[in-house]
Chains A and B, each alone.
Chain A
């Protein structure tokens, strides 16, 4: 019940296309859902995050879509660029736990 399932494991997108990464969770106590971007040899960097009281959040080219009833959330990267090529992790946490449960990661490659 503590798992966060992330898919796909890897993704190849043409420049200018839309990249979509999906995550699903079981624990209804989760109330915070961030997405992180990680380049090789670097620490993860927060991209965007959402709480379950909203169904969508957009920041620039990055959008989180959240479906509370289905217990799913996804990251959409619009107009994908080669510089977006990285590994993306979703995570979930509950306010009382102060801990993330990470998804397994998606390696994105955007072709020029």
Chain B
């Protein structure tokens, strides 16, 4: 089955330290991969996506993600975490579906950045 996995329910990091939020996927064909962020009581916001080309994708708020085809991973990274980065992060994959395409979301990883 085609799926997205976020193995960590929660990631804790100190402000100023690098952060990584993990994502692995299982899809047939070329994957279209996304990261979204959700702040409390808000809708999801798009951060970045990988379609093709350079494996390192840069996105909003200083975030980046590295596509690794051999490891089927798309980990989200930031060199220096901010307290304001604390939020719920979702990895997602775009799949072909009956009548078009649909997006499959991972279960989410809660990031806590401590001052």
A and B interact: no
